[in-house]
Amino acid sequence: MSLRDQLSEIKENGLANISQAADLKTLNEIRVHLLGKKGPITAALRGIKELTPEERPQVGSYANKIRDAITTAVAAQRDRLEARQLNAQLAAEKIDVTLPGKPVAQGQPHVIQQIIDQIVDLFLGMGYEVLTGPEVEEDKYNFEMMNLPKNHPARDMQDTFYLSKEILMRTQTSPMQARALEKHDFSKGPLKMISPGIVYRRDTDDPTHSHQFHQVEGLVIDEHITMADLKGTLITMAQNIFGDKFDIRLRPSYFPFTEPSVEVDVTCFNCMGKGCDVCKHTGWIEVLGAGMVHPNVLKMAGVDASIYGGFAFGVGPDRFAMLKYGVDDIRDFYLNDVRFLNQFSKRGN
């Protein structure tokens, strides 16, 4: 058998063994045996000196090709074996992906806070500042400067928690109108503010009344602010809080500190305007009060009502939350049942 034939046979046998190797260890032994110094190729090449000088490089080159072929075959077989081994491991590692995940402790913002934040963020975007004020308020700011003089029917004692004749728990966030108007320097620009906070009424707690609840006051005063601006602002708010499909309507109403005064209805959540029991078949639900700031309010705060004017509105986040989520008892907001609170975990809306 010529040396070349010998080498060919080594190759054939070697490749066959490689392809049959069942594990990496056997494959490695085959590789070491075939390519090692004691292997058959090395042994066969010892006979090279018996060849003519012309034949030697050809056979040498042929031997190198065989080495390369074997090396390539070993690598390919190794990849196959490794893949097989990995697959077997992966198969063994299979889990029931339907088992529940490990519970994570996560707190939630209070649902009323979520509504307030949503309102605050909207108005920040429209250039409003956010003001907060005292919950224990002077009669002067809560009533008198809001055009509710001492004997005004709209301030019956039974609705207000008094600490003394002149000091009370604020019944509305409207005193922040007077406080903001007093402080604001109109030469520096218009006054655009919202003021969220807690207010108190001398009410018996029941599903629709709470002695403590929230309001967000809004106030814009400049040289040319119109009732159309109020309407546009309220539509923007309604659609931002409730959704694009919601519309508003204004109805005449009465508040001592605005003139004209309006109640604002929003499309009924339950029937989307078709009419149902919730909206007494009107298609609308009352959500807030608003109006053009009464000249007396401006005058009492030292603002020239012949130059400046604007609008104000008062929103009840408790009511918004009740409507938006269908909560039917306002007391749920203040009992802090964690099962109730943790439901409102949807973010980013």
Contact yes or no for 333/319 (Cβ under 8 A): no
Q: Please give the Cα distance from 257 to 268 (Å, whole number).
A: 28
Q: Please give the Cα distance from 11 to 20 (Å, whole number).
A: 14
**Which residues, listed in sequence order, are joined to residue 264 by a DSSP beta bridge?**
250, 288
Least CB distance to other proteins at residue 278 (A): 15
Contacts of 179 (CB under 8 A, 6+ apart): 131, 133, 141
Per rule CB under 8 A, is residue 276 in the interface with other proteins?
no
Nearest-CA neighbor of 285 among 331, 330, 316?
A: 316
Contact yes or no for 98/136 (Cβ under 8 A): no
When the beta carbons of 24 and 130 are compared against other proteins, the nearer one is: 130
When the beta carbons of 37 and 188 are compared against other proteins, the nearer one is: 188
Contact yes or no for 135/142 (Cβ under 8 A): no
Least CB distance to other proteins at residue 132 (A): 8
Least CB distance to other proteins at residue 158 (A): 8
Q: Which stretch binds other proteins (CB under 8 A): 3-11, 43-51, 54-62, 257-265?
A: 257-265
Using CB under 8 A, pick the residue from 50, 54, 93, 156 that binds other proteins. Answer: 156
Least CB distance to other proteins at residue 326 (A): 19
Per rule CB under 8 A, is residue 282 in the interface with other proteins?
yes
Which residues from 31-70 bind other proteins, rule CB under 8 A?
A: none
Q: Which stretch binds other proteins (CB under 8 A): 8-16, 30-38, 51-59, 160-168?
A: 160-168
Which residues from 288-307 bind other proteins, rule CB under 8 A?
A: 292, 294-295
Contact yes or no for 284/278 (Cβ under 8 A): no
Using CB under 8 A, pick the residue from 56, 69, 222, 270 that binds other proteins. Answer: 222
Per rule CB under 8 A, is residue 224 in the interface with other proteins?
yes
Least CB distance to other proteins at residue 309 (A): 6
When the beta carbons of 169 and 178 are compared against other proteins, the nearer one is: 169
Per rule CB under 8 A, is residue 164 in the interface with other proteins?
yes
| Alpha-helical regions (H) of 187-336 | 227-242, 295-300, 317-325, 332-335
Using CB under 8 A, pick the residue from 171, 174, 233, 267 that binds other proteins. Answer: 233
Q: Please give the Cα distance from 253 to 76 (Å, whole number).
A: 86
Which residues from 96-155 bind other proteins, rule CB under 8 A?
A: 99-100, 102-110, 112-113, 117, 120, 123-130, 132, 134-136, 138, 151, 153-154
Q: Please give the Cα distance from 268 to 280 (Å, whole number).
A: 10
29 assigned ligand-binding residue: no
| Burial class, 212, CB count within 10 angstroms (exposed 0-12 / middle 13-18 / buried 19+) | middle
Nearest-CA neighbor of 131 among 198, 177, 186, 199?
A: 177
Least CB distance to other proteins at residue 232 (A): 4
Per rule CB under 8 A, is residue 278 in the interface with other proteins?
no
Contact yes or no for 300/177 (Cβ under 8 A): no
Which residues from 309-348 bind other proteins, rule CB under 8 A?
A: 309-310, 333-339, 341-342
Q: Please give the Cα distance from 349 to 240 (Å, whole number).
A: 9
Number of residues that bind other proteins (CB under 8 A): 90
Q: Please give the Cα distance from 287 to 320 (Å, whole number).
A: 7
Cβ–Cβ contacts within 10 Å for residue 7, how many? 20
When the beta carbons of 21 and 266 are compared against other proteins, the nearer one is: 266
When the beta carbons of 25 and 224 are compared against other proteins, the nearer one is: 224
